Every structure is written in structure tokens, then in C-alpha cells.
A and B are shown apart, each in its own frame.
Chain A
Amino acid sequence: MTSPPADAAGGSGGSSPQAGPVDTADPAEQAKAVIEYCYDQGWTDGLPVVPATRPGVDAFLATTERSGDEIIGSAPHLGRSITVAQAAANAIMAGCKPEYFPVVLAAWEALNLERSVRGGWQSTSGPSPLIVINGPVRNRLDINYEGGVFGPGFRANATIARAIGLIVRNGYGIRPHELEQATQGLPGRWSVCLGENEEASPWEPLSVVGGVEPGVDAVSAVLIRTCEYVDNRGTDSPEAVLADFADTLARIGAYLGGGHSSGGVVLGPEHAQLFGRYGWSRSDVQEWLFEHAVRDRGDLAAAGKGDAPAADPAAAGTPFRMLPSANDIPLIVAGAANAAMSMVFRPFGWSPWSGRSVPVAWPDAGAAGATAGSAPATGGL
């Protein structure tokens, strides 16, 4: 619909503002035409994208020591593979700045550690990545970890998550209503990327749990099916707040059958600090939740989850642990310390989290310094 006219170079004089040829003398009209062109190619997730160009991709590739040709993902059943350069093009389209790209690559790698990711992109469950970023990079790239951490409003958070969605869509060709068969999906798919509020957390960073040294930039990721808030501002008792968490974590609806459900918590700083004040470690909280997120086996049977070993009417009155193990309850601290609320999240499938964080690979310090130093001069041209 936006094919530019061959004779448009003549200027803006006679063209209608409402319809007809694109006024190529007006850069804003050109930008609009480019956006429409990208829509017409089927490249977008429904929102406008930034066009990827060769110089753009080169600028992204300059932020990593990896080769543009390196394959970073394969879907053998689709006969498709994804290269670093292709990821760069999609990250540009998502609205990323070049310096976000090493974080995008680490997020992609972290997601690919998830056993559930292979079927996840096409699943009826329609899961979303939950991407968690630790380290100094949060402040350097203005990655939000405080108020409104689930978004929107912050370019890095929004576009790093969106880049993953576009890589899946354009790289693997997995599009909704085609190879992607989400029954309903979830609010916020391809937009959940948060920094951990390390400054307000009483515990070690999640990335340290995931095996990365403290102070090192790192990304952790899991596929989730939804989030649900726990608003509890009325008590100073750690056990009372934990009981509230456990109630949400033990929902039957999230139970698929087959042994256990899965769940984690993004703790608001007020809740996290309550546990810290009373001397609860992360593993203390995990252990408590594992012990208390239980349902009566009869409740499962009554809800018709009949294929589950737990759903035996004869077992009514006996407790069933809904979560797989204490270690498999990821706890993250993020948000503002302005109200005592937290967010339970539900990992996709039975696997809770790979438990492995991925360090962000920056180019060596000398190269990074040179790039930064040359930026103002380039900008001046």
C-alpha cells in the first residue's frame, strides 16, 4: 500500500496529505512508509519495527566478539537455524540499542538452557520468557529494576524482551496461527525482562545462585505461563507472608498432572527485606514454601485432574506437595520498596528453571574503550 512513486523526487508540492503517493521529501513520511513496508512483509509482532540495515547490523556486531555467521539456535524439525547477524537484525527491529546486543545474546543463550524451550515456542501454552538481569550492566544500560519492573516504560527492558520474540518469529518462522499455536497466550508475552533489585535485596544475586561470580553481568531466563500478585501489607510476620505466597503457589489450575506443578516468586523489596530482617535466607524461604505449598489429594481429584497420580479420591485427606523441590522455587527480588507486594510466576511445563545463569560476554576492555571513544566523533558526522 505504500509503494513510493517513481516521480516523487519532484517534491511535496502537489501530493495529498491523506492518500496517494508518499512524499519522499518529508523524512517523517518516509519513516512511516518504511514501517508499513515492514508490516507488509509479515516481519512484525503487531507493533511498528525499526528497519534493520547493513550499517545497523554492523554496529550491533561490533558489540560482540562472536562472528555474524555463528549459529546460535537451531530447530531441526523446521529446518531452520539462526545466526548472530540475524539476531542482530531482529534486535534492531525490536528497538534495541547496539550496546544491548550482548545482553540479548546472553538472554537467548539462557533461554536455550531451558529443557522446555524446544516445544515452548510452538506450544498451546503460549509461554513468555521471563528474563532476569544482574550486575552493573543494569545501571549502565538503564535496565529498570525498581518501580514498575514488569513494565512498560523502559527501553532496555522492553526491547531486549521483544528482540527474543522477533528472533523466534522471524528466525524460526514460528508465527501465531501457524506454527505457533497458543490457545490464549498471556498478557505481556515478549515483554517480561527485569533487572534484579540487588541494592534492595537481602540476598545474593540470582546470577550467583545460577553459578556466576558476584559483580559479573549475567542473564537468567525461564519460560512462564503467567504471573499473579500477592498483596500483603498487613503483617510483620514472615510466616504469615509466606503462607500467603504458598496459597497462590498451590493453585490447582496450574497443576498439569504428572507429579508436581512449578512456581517461583518475584519478591517486592518490602517482602524480601522482611525476611532479611528476621534472618531468613533465600534457601530458608524456599524450604518453607516447599513444605507448605500443599493441597489435599482429594482436592485434585475433585477438580478432575484425573490423570494425575495424586488425584486419587481414596487419597482424600492426605497432603500433596505441589512444587518439585525447595531448590526449584526461583526467588528474585525486584520492584520498588513502596508497598508490600510480590508476584508469583508459573514456569512452563514441569521444569522450573535450568538453574544456570549466563554471563554477558562483552568485547575485551580495550576494544570496548575504543568503541566508546569513537562514538562522539561518529555522532558529529
Chain B
Amino acid sequence: MNAVFDSIIDPTIGPANGHGVFALAARPDSLSGLRVGLLANTKRNAEQFLDEVGKILTGQYGAAAVVARKKPDITNTAPAPMLEDLRTGSDVVVVGVGDCGSCSASAVADGIVLEQSGVPAVVVTTDAFVASASAMARVRGVPDYKYLTVPHPMANLTADGVRDKAEAIIPGIVGMLTSQAMAASA
């Protein structure tokens, strides 16, 4: 390449980041008897959605208990103590709902961090934010990271609308948390 081009500084290169090698956590065969962690962000209807998910998983899939936590901040990953709390207090975690530019990306980051700490996790975002969620997965060094989407929007739904969305996505959540095929694909 021409010397002129070689001398141009790449403005995107910063201090090395510390992401390790990524592998999905091992999946259980089923959710029966397991503790389900629910990690909500502060977006409207996120907690209500996860609450419905928790009810269905305990009522229909045999989950033993629900551990609900709410992030204090939509942009960053959940604080370390909260993630540790989920890691020790639950067997699988559902993260959601990514319903904005920042929080969809950070939900994916939460999911990746949880997997790295050994907890099977599934992230739910609305389909309006696939670009930022996938961009975060690339930034985190896991370009093939899989997450679930529900139709946008979430924030303006009534309680019934939230429940409908939760019911519709349940098979996907159970599949992502238990699928042996998925763990094998990592």
C-alpha cells in the first residue's frame, strides 16, 4: 500500500479492552425445580413483562422460584453485586426488556456477562433495536450472540398487551435456556 496511506493513524484504536473468550454456559434439560432470575431495566413495562414471564415459568414449566432484580441504570451493565446476586441466587436468568438505543445494547451485555459467569441467560429486546443489540454483541466480541425479540413497542402496552407478549415469547425463552443444541453451537 502507498506510504501516504500507511502513515494515517486509525482513530478507532484505543486502549486494549479486556473481554475474554466467550462460551455459553451449560444448559439444563428443563427448568423444572430451577430458580429463575429476572433482570429488569428501568424501561416502562419491563418489570411487568418479566413478572408475567416468571409466573408462566413457575406455573407451567415447573420453575421453583423467581428472583427479580431491577437495574439502576439503562446504559450500563447491572452492577457487579447485582450480577453476583443473580449468579448465586438463580440457575437461569431472563434479561429484558431492551426497548431503547442504550438499554437494548446493555441488555445484551448483561446476557453475555452472565453467560461468562456460568449462568444460562436469555435476553429479550424489542425488534426496533436489533441493530444496537447486535452492535453490542460485536463490540463484546460475540458477533453470533443470539437473543430474542418481541415486536416493538413495549412501553405503551396495557397489562393485557404485556401478558400477550410474554405468552408469545415463552417457548423461545424456554428453548434458549434449555436447548442442548444451542449450547452445543457455542
B9 cross-chain contacts in A, Cβ below 8 A:
51-54, 56-57, 89
Question: What 1/0 mask marks residues of chain A from 62 to 86 whose CB sits below 8 Å from any chain B CB?
Answer: 0000000001000011111111001
- Residues on A with C-beta less than 8 A from B73 are 118
**B149 contacts chain A at the CB level, 8 A cutoff:** no
Number of interface residues of B (CB under 8 A): 37
Give the size range of A's interface with the partner.
35 or more
Give chain B interface residues in 1-51, CB to chain A under 8 Å: 1-2, 4-5, 7-15, 17-19, 44
Task: Pick out which of these stretches binds chain B: A135-143, A172-180, A207-215.
Answer: A172-180
Do A37 and B8 contact each other (CB < 8 Å), given the known contacts A77-B109, A79-B139, A122-B101? yes
Q: Does B86 count as interface, using CB distance less than 8 angstroms?
A: no
- State whether A178 touches B131 (Cβ < 8 A): yes
The residue from B44, B100, B140 contacting A123, defined by CB atoms under 8 A apart:
B100
The distance in angstroms between the C-alpha atoms of A158 and B12, with both chains bound, is 21
- Please give the distance in Å from B130's CB to the nearest CB on chain A: 10
Using A77-B106, A124-B100 as known contacts, say yes or no to A38 and B8 having CB atoms under 8 A apart.
yes
Please, how many angstroms separate the alpha-carbon atoms of A81 and B16 in the complex?
8
A77-B18 in contact (CB<8A): no
Contact, CB under 8 Å: B14 / A30: no
What residues of A have a CB within 8 angstroms of the CB of B13 in the complex? 86
User: Shortest distance in angstroms between A279's beta carbon and chain B's nearest beta carbon?
Assistant: 45
Cβ of B15 and Cβ of A179 under 8 Å apart?
Answer: no
Interface: B75 (CB within 8 A): yes
Shortest distance between the CB of A96 and any CB in chain B (Å): 13
In the bound complex, do residue A76 and residue B102 qualify as a contact, i.e. CB atoms below 8 Å apart?
A: no
CB distance from B57 to the nearest CB of A (A): 27
Q: Chain B at the A interface: mostly helix, strand, loop or mixed?
A: loop
Q: Tell me whether A34 and B75 are in contact (CB under 8 A).
A: no
Choice from B11, B105, B132 contacting A43 with Cβ under 8 Å: B11
Docked complex Cα distance between A198 and B185 (Å): 64
Against A, the Cβ 8 Å flags (1 = close, 0 = not) of B117-161 are 000000000000101101110011000000000000000000000
Is B180 located at the chain interface by the 8 A CB criterion? no
Residues from chain A with a CB closer than 8 A to the CB of B75 are 77, 118-119, 122
Query: Which A residues, 1 to 59, have Cβ-Cβ distances below 8 Å to chain B?
Result: 3-4, 24, 30, 33-34, 37-38, 41, 43, 51-54, 56-57
Chain A 131-190 residues near chain B, CB threshold 8 A? 166, 170-171, 173, 175, 177-182
Shortest beta-carbon distance from A146 to chain B in Å: 32
B100 contacts which chain A residues (CB < 8 A)? 123-124, 181
- Using Cβ atoms and an 8 Å threshold, which residues of chain B touch A90? 11
Supposing A76-B76, A76-B77, A77-B105 touch, asked if A177 and B11 sit within 8 A by C-beta, the answer is: no
- The answer to whether B19 and A79 touch across the interface, beta carbons within 8 angstroms, is yes
Is A80 in contact with B139, judged by CB distance below 8 angstroms? yes
The reply to whether the CB of B74 lies closer than 8 angstroms to some CB of chain A is yes
B17 and A122: CB pair below 8 A? no
Within 8 A of A (CB), among B91-123: 100-102, 104-106, 109
Q: List residues of chain A with CB within 8 A of the CB of B7.
A: 51, 53-54
* A307 contacts partner chain B, Cβ-Cβ < 8 Å: yes
Q: Select which of A77, A83, A182 is within 8 A of B101 by beta carbon.
A: A182
A222: chain B residues at CB < 8 Å are none
Closest 3 CB pairs of A and B: A181-B101, A178-B135, A79-B17
Using a CB–CB cutoff of 8 Å, the interface residues on chain B facing chain A are 1-2, 4-5, 7-15, 17-19, 44, 73-77, 100-102, 104-106, 109, 129, 131-132, 134-136, 139-140
- What are 10 A-B interface contacts by the 8 Å CB criterion? A3-B1, A51-B8, A78-B139, A81-B15, A82-B14, A83-B14, A86-B11, A118-B73, A171-B14, A181-B100
